[in-house]
Amino acid sequence: MDPNLDSPRTAAANPPIQPMPANLGAGDVIRASAMPDLAPPQRQLTPVAKLIDVSKCIGCKACQSACAEWNDTVPPIEENVGSYQNPSDLGPEMFTLMRFSEYENPNGDFEWLIRKDGCMHCTDPGCLKACPAPGAIVQYSNGIVDFIHENCIGCGYCVTGCPFNIPRVSKTDHKSYKCTLCSDRVAVGQGPACAKACPTQAIVFGHKDDMIAHAEERVADLKSRGYENAGIYDPAGVGGTHVFYVLHHADQPALYSNLPEDPRISPVVEGWKGITKKVGLAAIGIAAVGSILHGLLGRANRVTAEDDREAEEYVEHSLPPGRS
Amino acid sequence: MNIDLSRRGFLKLAGAGVAATSLGALGFGDAEAAEKAHVRAFKLASTTETRNTCTYCSVACGILIYSKGDVAAGEQATIVHIEGDADHPTNRGTLCPKGAALKDIVHSESRLTTPRIRRPGTDRFDEISWDEALDKIARALKDDRDANIVLKNDAGVPVNRWTSTGFLAASATTNETAWLTYKTVRAMGIAGLDNQARV
Amino acid sequence: MTNPWTDIRNTDLVVVMGGNAAEAHPCGFKWVTEAKAHRGAKLIVVDPRFTRTASVSDYYAPIRPGSDITFLMAMINWMIQNDKVQWEYVKNFTNAAFIVKDEFGWSDGLFSGYDPEKRDYDKSSWDYVMGDDGFAQVDMTLQHPRCVWNLLKEHVSRYTPELVQQICGTPKDRFLHIAQMIGECSAPDKTMTSMYALGWTQHSKGAQNIRGMAMLQLILGNIGVRGGGMNALRGHSNIQGLTDIGLMSNLIPGYLNIPTEKEVDWTTYMSSRSFKPLRPGQTSYWQNYSKFMVSFLKAMWGDAATAENDWAFEWLPKLDVPGYDILRMFELMKAGKITNYFCQGFNPLLAFPNRAKLTEALSKLQLLVVMDPLETETARFWENHGEHNDVDSAAIQTEVIQLPTTCFAEDDGSLVNSGRWLQWHWAAGTPPGQARRDTWIMSQIFLRVKKLYETEGGVLPEPIVNLTWDYADPNEPTAEELAKEMNGRALSDVHDLKDTTKLLTPAGKQLVNFSQYRDDGSTMGACWIFSGSWTEDGNMMARRDNTDPDDAGMYPNWTYAWPLNRRVLYNRASADLKGKPWDASRKLMEWNGEKWTGYDVPDIAPTSKPDEVGPFIMNQEGTSRLFTRGMMRDGPFPTHMEPFESPIANPFNAQMRGNPVARVFADDAAQFATSDEFPFVATSYRLTEHFHYWTKNNRINAALQPEFFVEISEELAALKGITLGGWVRVWSKRGSVKAKALVTKRLKPLQCGDKTVYVVGIPLHWGFVGAARKGWGPNSLTPFVGDANVETPEFKAFLVNIEPATGEAVS
> Residue A291 pLDDT more than 70?
no
Q: What does the alpha-carbon distance between residue B197 and residue C628 come to, in Å, rounded to a whole number?
A: 23
Last residue of a domain, one of B63, B79, B106: B106
Q: What is the mean pLDDT of chain A?
A: 86
- Last-in-domain residue among B106, B129, B151: B106
Q: Domains in chain A, please, with CATH?
A: 26-255 (3.30.70.20), 272-318 (no CATH)
State the CATH number of the domain containing residue B73: 3.30.200.210
B139 shares a domain with B190? yes
Is there a domain that residue B99 lies in?
A: yes
User: Does residue B75 sit within a domain?
Assistant: yes
- Closest by Cβ to C773, choosing from A64, A77, A112: A77
Q: Which of B106, B138, B156 is the last residue of a domain?
A: B106
Asked whether residue A63 is marked as a ligand-binding residue, the answer is yes
d(CA C550, CA B153): 59
Its domain, for residue B65, covers: 48-106
Query: Which among B51, B137, B171 has CB closest to C238?
Result: B171
The pTM (predicted TM-score) of the whole model is 0.93
- The nearest alpha carbon in chain C to A113 belongs to C55
Confidence at residue C667, expressed as pLDDT on a 0 to 100 scale: 97
DSSP assigned state of B154 = T
How does residue B14 score in pLDDT terms, banded at 50, 70 and 90? Answer: very low
Residue A131 marked ligand-binding: yes
Q: How confident is the model at residue A3 (pLDDT cuts 50, 70, 90)?
A: confident
pLDDT at C593: 97
* A182 labelled ligand-binding: yes
In this predicted structure, what is the pLDDT of residue B37? Answer: 54
Please answer yes or no on whether A193 and B24 come within 8 Å at the CB atom: no
Annotated binding residue at A194?
Answer: yes
User: For position B5, what pLDDT does the model report?
Assistant: 27
pLDDT for the residue numbered C807: 63
Q: Is residue B40 part of a domain?
A: no
- Average confidence (pLDDT) over A161-186: 97
Distances (CA, A) of C440 to C368, C447, C476: 19, 10, 5
Contact B131, B102 (CB under 8 A): no
Residue B4 has pLDDT above 90, yes or no: no
Cα separations in angstroms, C578 against A6, B83, C593:
55, 47, 9
The residue of A69, A179, A186, A291 whose CB has the most chain B CBs within 10 angstroms, and thus the best one to mutate to test that interface, is A69
Residue A300 pLDDT greater than 50, yes or no: no
| DSSP summary character for residue C671 | T
- What chain C residue is nearest to B90 in terms of C-alpha separation? C6
Q: Is the pLDDT of residue A279 over 60?
A: no
A221-230, A308-317, C284-293, C703-712: which has the minimum mean pLDDT?
Answer: A308-317
Candidate from A19, A146, A275 with C-beta closest to B9 = A275
Contact A102 C40 (CB under 8 A): no
Residues of C in contact with B127 (CB under 8 A): none
> Same domain for B97 and B54?
yes
- Cα–Cα distance, C346 to A150 (Å, whole number): 47
Q: Which of C188, C213, C190, C220 is nearest to C35 (CA)?
A: C190
Question: How does pLDDT run across B102-149, given as a tens digit for each residue?
Answer: 999 999 999 999 999 999 999 999 999 999 999 999 999 999 999 999
User: Is B111 among the domain residues?
Assistant: no
Whether B27 maps to a domain, the answer reads no
Q: Domain check: are B121 and B193 in the same one?
A: yes
Q: Do B159 and B191 lie in a common domain?
A: yes
User: What is the predicted pLDDT for the residue at A188?
Assistant: 97
Listed in order, strand segments (DSSP E) in A123-200 are 137-140, 145-147, 168-169, 176-177
Residue in C with minimal Cα distance to A222 = C37
Q: In terms of Cα–Cα distance, which of B58, B52, B111 is closest to B81?
A: B52
Half-sphere exposure of C450 (CA within 13 A, CB side): 19
Per-block average pLDDT, block size 10, for chain C (811 residues)? 98 98 98 96 98 98 98 98 98 98 98 98 98 98 98 98 98 98 98 98 98 98 98 96 98 98 97 97 98 98 98 98 98 98 97 98 98 98 98 98 98 98 98 98 98 98 98 98 98 97 98 98 98 98 97 97 98 98 97 98 97 98 98 98 98 97 98 97 98 97 98 98 98 98 98 97 98 97 98 98 79 44
Residue B36 is predicted with a pLDDT of 54
B120 and B163 assigned to the same domain: yes
Q: What is the DSSP string of A40-109?
A: PPSS-PPPEEEEEEGGG-----HHHHHHHHHHT---------SSS-SSSS-BTTB--EEEEEEEE-TTS-
A162 is in an annotated binding site: yes
Q: Which of these, C221, C287, C151, lies nearest to C615 by C-alpha position?
A: C221
Chains contacting A (3+ CB pairs below 8 angstroms): B, C
Q: How do C13-17 and C192-196 pair as beta strands?
A: parallel
Identify the pLDDT of residue A269.
81
Task: Decide if A224 touches C, using CB distance below 8 A.
Answer: yes
Least Cα separation, residue B39 to chain C (angstroms)? 24
CA–CA min distance A71, chain B (Å) = 10
* pLDDT > 70? residue B3: no
Half-sphere exposure (Cβ direction) of C10: Cα atoms closer than 13 Å: 26
Query: Tell me, what's the pLDDT at A270?
Result: 76
Contacts of B4 in chain A (CB under 8 A): 34-36, 276, 278
| pLDDT score, position A1 | 64
How far away is chain A from the Cα of C738, in angstroms, using its nearest Cα?
13
Neighbours of chain B (3+ CB pairs under 8 A): A, C
Å between A271 CA and nearest CA of chain C: 40
Same domain? For B133 and B102 the reply is no
A57 in a labelled binding site: yes
Q: Give the integer Cα–Cα distance in Å for A284 and A278.
A: 18
pLDDT band at A285 (very low <50, low <70, confident <90, very high): very low
What is the number of domains present in chain B?
A: 2
Best mutation target among A96, A109, A113, A200 (most C Cβ atoms within 10 Å) is A200
> With 80 as the cut, is the pLDDT of residue A267 above it?
yes
Does residue B162 lie within any of the structural domains?
yes
**Same domain for B191 and B130:** yes
CB-based contact (8 Å) between A96 and chain B? Answer: no
On whether A284 is known to bind a ligand per the annotation, the reply is no
Mutate to test the interface with A, among C14, C39, C687, C689 (most CBs of A within 10 A): C689
* Nearest alpha-carbon partner for A74 in C103, C699, C164: C699
Q: Is A109 a known ligand-binding residue? A: no
* Domain C666-804, CATH: 2.40.40.20
Q: Looking at the structure, tell me whether residues B95 and B144 fall in a common domain.
A: no
Residue B188 near residue C463, CB atoms below 8 Å: yes
Q: Where are the domains of chain C?
A: 250-302+475-536, 666-804
**Could you tell me if residue B194 is inside a domain?**
yes
Q: How far apart are CA C768 and CA C384, in angstroms?
A: 10
ipTM: 0.97
For residue B24, being part of any structural domain is answered with no
Residue A301 has pLDDT above 90, yes or no: no
pLDDT in tens, B143-166: 999 999 999 999 999 999 999 999
CA distance A148 to chain B (A): 7
Q: Does C459 touch chain B (CB under 8 A)?
A: yes
